Amino acid sequence: MATLEKIRNKGGLLVTIFIGFALVAFILGDILNSGGGSGVSNDLSIAEVHGEELNVQDYQNKLDEVFDIYRMNRGEMDDATADQLTTQTWDDFIKDAVLAPMYEAYNIEISMEEMKEMVQGENLHPIIPQVFGDPNTGEVNRDAVRNFIANLNGEFAQQKPFWLYIEKEIVSKRKITKFNNLVSKAIYVTNTQIDQAIQDKSPVVDFEFVAKRKAEVADSLVSFTEADITNYYKANKHKFVQENTVRNLKYITYDVMPSAQDNQDAQKWIEEIKSDFQNAVNDAQFVNINSDEPFNDQFYGPGQLDARLDTILFDEEPGFVYGPYFENMTYKLAKLSNVAMRPDSVKASHILIRNDQGDVDIKQRADNLLDSLKTLVENGADFAELAIQYSEDGSAPTGGDLGWFSEGMMVKPFNDACFSNSKGSLVLVDTQFGHHLIQVNELSKPSKKIQVAILARNVEASTATFQNYYAQASSFASDNRDMASFDAAVEANGLNPRTASVQENDRNIPGLESPRAMVKWAYEAEAGQVSDVFEFGNRFVVACLTDLKEKGTLPLDDVRKEVESAVLLEKKGDYLKNQLEEVLKTDTDLDNIALAINGKKEKAEMINMESFQIPGFGIEHAVIAQAVAMQKGETSGALVGENAVFVINLLDSRPGTEADRNTEKTRIASSKKGAVETNAYGAVLELAELEDKRSKWY
């Protein structure tokens, strides 16, 4: 179960609080943010909601809060995580501002008594079990919660910011729930809706049909005029509405790759250091200081190493160095560091006391407890019984038994403790999971294993190489300042431009590392303009803004290809309809029709108005509607659908299952209530007339 904190009061331990990975997962999914107020200067406005400006500093404060919590618990974040947190923070910041007038208008508040009930009472908010629940049972120790809250200015002062954050989150979520419940109470299912729902389920029809797909008609068999294109566009303008502004780009990349000189330099370095490596007394220290890869002290059995090392090193003495050899753009030296007789697998049990954060004394108390348990076992106590009583690991119910495991399966300190000790040993060891008392129960027969020190030198692009690629990109950008020259240079140099369509607040372009700067440039540039050089990771990029698409109905020229494809499909439908109608003039037998158009007769069963597709032919609402309206035994004319043209013979038409009106009413109401959270907020958001100004700032 995902948990933010775990409050425990077990085995004499004081109540402690753990805030770790689950808190971060919680933040990613449910970040609390609040909107700004009125009276914000336009210069500081990041958005407009309900006609009021929101202050960029309010948003930045929330974002800083989220980033600080993440860094406190996980360290530095990568760009992808930062983008995810930024987007989630923005969504919640806007949601809070959008719904704030609803809370005020309908007096939606959270009283102190209600808050206490959600935190300590019988009707706990779902967040509380996540934070304070037992990880195995989900049960909440309410005394532990009360003790924790009562000591936020004392014993748990370090956790106070986290608790205030959780409190605000509970208030925010509860307000949203109240708003949704308020909307849900207003849902009413009319008799007309019930009648329509019942009607949609009846009649149920079975039919056989012959169909010809439009895609099977060759383009050369049909033609269309400019008037056809214009007429289709005018009749279907609703299909070409641009909801957001879009900028279309094409760009070229200069991917920085190591040069021949970079390769030679890496090879020379590895060759020159070989003698020093061979004479090194402390292999681990030498590797960690000089290598591009850290020292790995794992022992390997035959067949576990790369084949070339496996066949050579097992016959050598410690100190032997093999190489240099080249592997995955890296020059390497392999030194036989140690030889030992070690088991292939170990059977062990353990007692775990978790290293919960928030209690600086936990290690000392855990060490004291485990040392006492170790003494008890040495004096004859049953390890399994003690594990059942004291261990905080999932293996506790089975006496801490971990079964057999091979070397490398456990985290390193635990692994080393098991494989470096003899049968019957009792070992105390710390890992990232907490503090362990390990009992080594069995060891497989020892065999020869070797420890290998790998000294690695990656072949990487040097500063000079980066400068060379930048010079190429810079030269291209300065020589080609408009789209015509950009295109000409691309063709002359045999380059392969890529394309991208971006919206104003996009932060990602596939294949580019953190390309936000290019997106911002696209919204500041003019059509046909060429950018300066962008640096994204190991790539230099030069972009050209090809065109701008604003909100609203797109002009015909911008969607001409799409319109032409749709018109072509329509003409193919007309072509097939005419072909089938000619056949139908003389024969209505589906077998003969199938033969005439080189098709086959097929069957569809249990179709009603709630159906949306014909098996094998995709979504065909109009054709299904016509089939449901036919009489048993009737053969249709040529029916033009979305994907094909059909001729149908109705085999059977019968009433659907008699639906109980109350059951149908409940089903419709349940469906509508299930959509309240999304639809209610969406409706208020539309009324709020959100104006997003993020691109000014981020």
One-letter identity of residue 72: M
Across 90-99, 208-217, 640-649, 651-660, least confident range? 651-660
Query: How much is the pTM?
Result: 0.63
Closest listed residue to residue 580, CA positions, set 648, 489, 650? 648
Domain ranges in the chain? 21-185, 202-241+559-654, 246-257+463-550, 260-342, 345-444
- Give the percent of the chain with pLDDT over 70: 92
Asked if residue 378 lies in contact with residue 416, where contact means CB atoms within 8 angstroms, the answer is no
Q: Please compute the mean of the pLDDT values over residues 236-244 and round it to a whole number.
A: 89
> Among 63-77, 269-283, 615-629, 677-691, where is mean pLDDT lowest?
63-77
Q: Reply yes or no on whether the pLDDT at 9 is more than 50.
A: no
Q: How many CB atoms lie within 10 A of CB 200?
A: 14
When the pLDDT of each residue in the chain is averaged and rounded to a whole number, the result is 87
For residue 147, the surrounding DSSP H or E stretch is helix 142-150
15 pLDDT exceeds 50?
no
Cβ proximity of 573 and 640 under 8 Å:
yes
Task: List pLDDT tens digits, range 504-561.
Answer: 989 899 999 989 999 999 999 999 999 999 999 999 999 999 999 888 898 998 899 9
**What does the pLDDT read at residue 219?**
95
The yes or no reply on domain 345-444 and CATH 3.10.50.40 is yes
Where are the strands (E) in 272-319, listed by range? 299-300
CA Rg value for the chain: 35
Closest among 522, 481, 541 to 247, alpha carbons compared: 522
Q: Which token pair is 213?
A: 């797909």
Tens of pLDDT, residue by residue over 80-120, are 888 888 988 999 999 999 999 999 999 999 999 999 999 98
Whole-number pLDDT of residue 4: 27
- 692: phi then psi, degrees, rounded to nearest 5: -90, 120
* Residue 6 clears pLDDT 60, i.e. is over it: no
Among 171, 53, 180, CA closest to 114: 171
pLDDT of residue 147: 84
d(CA 27, CA 33): 11
**What average pLDDT does this structure show over 399-420?**
91
Alpha-carbon span 269 to 698, nearest angstrom: 43
**pLDDT of the residue at 82:** 87
40: pLDDT confidence band, cut at 50, 70 and 90?
low
pLDDT for residue 124 is more than 50: yes
- Tokens 């709020």 sit on residue: 688
| Residue 568 to residues 212, 229, 327, 565, 621, Cα–Cα distance (Å) | 16, 9, 54, 5, 21
* Amino acid, single-letter form, for residue 488: A
- Does the pLDDT of residue 634 top 60, yes or no? yes
Binned at pLDDT 50, 70 and 90, residue 136 comes out as low
Which tokens hold the place of 693? 């100004």
DSSP 59-113: HHHHHHHHHHHHHHHH-S--HHHHHHHHHHHHHHHHHHHHHHHHHHHTT----HH
Banded pLDDT at 131 (limits 50, 70, 90): confident
Q: What share of the chain is helix, strand, coil (3-state, %, to 5)?
A: 45, 20, 30
User: Is residue 52 within 8 Å of residue 693, measured between CB atoms?
Assistant: no
